[in-house]
Structure 1
């Protein structure tokens, strides 16, 4: 029994006439008669009583009409749900992010716009160290990642797009001797207590220090979050190289200074290359739109100044 059999049956039951039902279904009457006959053979008995004026439902036909309408309605609901899922209107998106994504405003703006466009889709966010994001994406634990660590070159299952770039600045206590300078030479930091994130790969500041100084700079402290880095710096326990976007965080006792030759930190958008979830695809598209808009605005601002 196929859905078309049920549609033909319901049309005939509601019109009570083969000609009118065929017209409603946009098929020829002989084809409708054949389909009804096949349906009656499949259920094992007559569903209609033929009269001169048309047809009347038998008792079995009455039972089938109730079930057929319910089945067709459920099929329509299933089709609509699938279409809404493909459009991203329903479904779930799990986002892992490094702190820089929030400070840049890109993640929060993407979340705001996504909720406005797709109010019935579910979104879950969790802060996650950049070095753990690749594995989480591959295992299906998250769907989108805002991070700072590029996936391994041989990992073709993932897609990586740069959506932001910020100069590095040094965070330190307000009474730190280096705070008297307007700009701090990078080489000076080699003699300081360095505060770094837990992962070498996820800490752009440590990577830049090692690359530009050409020495194996080892941090005095390793912590797991941006706030922890800044808390230690504000307490005078060391200094930290952080992206300029971190300057948005104002803590008691903390100050920031520009650094010569410190390079920059990028923000990456990571996703699965073969993603099939409509909601995830919609969020990914929107995240890129937000990044492009903000990049264009930042470029315009720099040119105007």
Structure 2
């Protein structure tokens, strides 16, 4: 594999890391674990299994809802105590053999929805309630809507939500960036997914804020963190990990600003970039629970 660092000045390539206590390894899903056809990136199952068997805490940190995430926890064969969903607004925890919504952040969606409707009257809207139920104005194939309910636009704002998702046919990421600036969405956290939809979470909430809560609960050292992702919604967790002395790995196909936020850049998802990053962590024999 080629060293990706020359592609972006100032960003180092993935580096091998020595032994030590178990790491918290938090992985984005789309564009990191998964290819666009929802098959896994080359080498990922084997690399994840190696870390899992070595005693590392391997988990997922995704913009997806729990409903769309649980399958991949199972497919990877991991058994984390915590999983971060909905860009940090929802953290699931395994308690006595059952997944529970351990931490849920919500906000009043009314002001944001009104701003967006004025600018995107033909968009498709979905909200996720604190309970996990999804309300939507029109169905979209990319949305996991099992148990969801189609409602009028006005009903979307009837109660607090953990996220708002907006898809507007004919608009791309640049359009969404201009929209966010024009609408002044500075009281919520927002991200633009790899399929060019706008995902809005409570103010000050991102994958990093949720993972800090997880790290504290697990009692893990800050310099034993590795996070990997490819999107703008990963920038928060990159900054969090690096601020604690941990590692942040951007996928090779990530936008320039995402690579800028990371400390390391690996290969594209198509070329097994995540496996390369994971394999730089110590082998199972190098990690001992007593250290």
- TM-score normalised by the chain length of structure 1: 0.26
Larger RCO (alpha carbons 8 Å, 6+ apart)? 2
- TM-score normalised by the chain length of structure 2: 0.27
Higher helix proportion (structure 1 or 2): 1
